[in-house]
Structure formats: structure tokens, C-alpha cells
Amino acid sequence: MNTFHLKILAADDPFYTGPCESLIVPTSQGKYGIMANHSNIIISVVPGALFYRLPGEKRKIAAVSHGLVKVENNEVLLLLDSVEHPEDIDANRAKRAADEAKEAILQSKSNQEHSAAQARLARAVSRLRVKQNYGSK
């Protein structure tokens, strides 16, 4: 079985470290797949659904925020602002965060405030989609 070493970190909190068979990360260009012995690369991650398969297990799913993925010498490092399993997402909290971000976009007085609010909205919407699409087992 071809595997690579995967390390997923969210704000210095280890989410997963160990062997992985495949990984699909959300990027601004769409979903990007990584398998064992992938060429070295660094890619920007956008809010969305992360899919990964551990040896001998079913595919796992997580909601991720902005971050980076680095592939080097059959090791993959995923650095994210946040990462959550669908069952750990509080849908009501995510809806409130989306509403607050929408209001912040309307009230923003600078490009920086607007961009920050858009990032919060993207994360909240991503969390809700992952919860709705993959949260029930």
C-alpha cells in the first residue's frame, strides 16, 4: 500500500499526524488531489471540505479554513487556521457567524475590514456546507 506521512495542524493544534493514502484539499482552482510520492509543491488552501483516507479506513472529511499545504519528500504538511470534523460543527454557531460576517461586510469602512469579513463569511459558509453534506452518519 502506497502511503505518505500527513501532518494536519490548526493554529499549532495537531489535528492528525500519521500515514495517509490520499488527500484532497480545496484550493482556489478547485479540488487538488495528493497521493504517495507526489511531486514537491506548496498550494494555498481555501475554506471547504478536506477529504483524506487513512490506511484500511473509510474516507474521512473535515471542514477547513484558509491555509497552506506543503508536499515534500513524501511528507505532507497542512497548516490551517481551523479544521473540524462535520460532527463537531455547531450549525447554529456557524449560522450566527455567517450572519455577523454579512453584517460586517455591509458595515466595513476599509478594504481590510471588508476582506476580513469576507474571510469570516467564507469560513462560516464552508462549515455549514460540510455539516449539511457530511454531518449525518
For the stretch 79-99, pLDDT in tens is 999 999 999 888 899 899 989
Give the global pTM. 0.84
Q: Is pLDDT of 137 > 70?
A: no
Query: How many residues are recorded in the chain?
Result: 137
Calculate mean pLDDT across residues 33-59.
Answer: 95
Cβ neighbors of 95 (< 8 A, separation 6 or more) are 124, 128
The pLDDT assigned to 64 comes to 94
The answer to whether residues 35 and 53 touch, using CB atoms and an 8 Å cutoff, is no
